[in-house]
């Protein structure tokens, strides 16, 4: 079957996610220090993240919406210290803007130049990065997030919805990602082809062999003849 389109994971496939998150959390705390001093006085970035994780555990139905989890954790932190919970919206926007300031892996731009010249690419992510705000929008035919769709990878439905947006059947689409369970197992179970971008050694192994296993996106472009 001819390859007609690509779906592409974002975090840890195109950039390392944790440096961006940590920087965003630091800027969030600085904003709170200025605008919600009582909250900042009892929290640092570590305890704010702990609270965020507690909210995620308490609300598994929000698992697909990382923005809501983060915003609600900020609101809870404010409420606990008797400060205005409405400040959570502005505080979250500070976090969210910084979260889009990512440092791409060196291979990403030259690889996307080659891949996007051959196939339409749809961003497919469980996270809350925005390819337009990151500055990569020109390479993508569109995007589909877990937040928008209501469920995330590895559920087959989100992969199938991505294929529909691309106007292709699952066996005509190659999904590219770094996460063994979410990206590789998820794509293969949904009937797509899968390319594992294995940037670091991992003890985890996919349940079935992906169609491609590569160290970076340029190696994948080479393997696909792009």
- Residues tagged active-site: 9
Pairwise CA distance, residues 177 & 86, whole Å:
37
Angle at which helix 66-80 crosses helix 45-58, to 10 degrees, equals 120
Pairwise CA distance, residues 29 & 45, whole Å:
6
Pick from 143, 142, 33: which is nearest to 91 by CA? 33
Cis peptide leading into residue 154 (ω within 30°): yes
**Residue owning tokens 């990206």:** 183
Pairwise CA distance, residues 90 & 75, whole Å:
11
Rounded alpha-carbon distances, angstroms, from residue 160 to 49, 79, 207: 33, 41, 20
């Amino acid at each position: 079957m001819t390859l007609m389109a690509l779906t592409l994971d974002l975090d840890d496939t195109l950039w390392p996610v944790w440096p961006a998150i940590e920087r965003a959390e630091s800027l969030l705390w600085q904003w709170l220090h200025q605008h919600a001093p009582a909250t900042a006085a009892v929290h640092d970035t570590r305890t704010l993240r702990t609270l965020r994780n507690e909210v995620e555990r308490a609300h598994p139905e929000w698992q697909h919406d990382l923005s809501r989890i983060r915003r609600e954790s900020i609101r809870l932190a404010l409420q606990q210290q008797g400060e205005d919970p409405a400040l959570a919206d502005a505080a979250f926007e500070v976090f969210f803007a910084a979260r889009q300031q990512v440092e791409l892996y060196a291979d990403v731009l030259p690889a996307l130049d080659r891949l996007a010249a051959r196939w339409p690419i749809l961003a497919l992510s469980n996270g809350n990065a925005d390819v337009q705000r990151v500055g990569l929008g020109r390479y993508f035919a569109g995007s589909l997030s877990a937040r928008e769709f209501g469920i995330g990878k590895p559920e087959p439905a989100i992969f199938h919805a991505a294929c529909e947006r691309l106007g292709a059947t699952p066996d005509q689409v190659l999904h590219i990602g770094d996460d063994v369970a979410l990206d590789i197992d998820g794509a293969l179970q949904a009937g797509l082809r899968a390319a594992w971008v294995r940037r670091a050694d991992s003890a985890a192994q996919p349940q079935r062999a992906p169609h491609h296993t590569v160290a970076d996106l340029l190696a994948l472009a080479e393997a696909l003849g792009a």
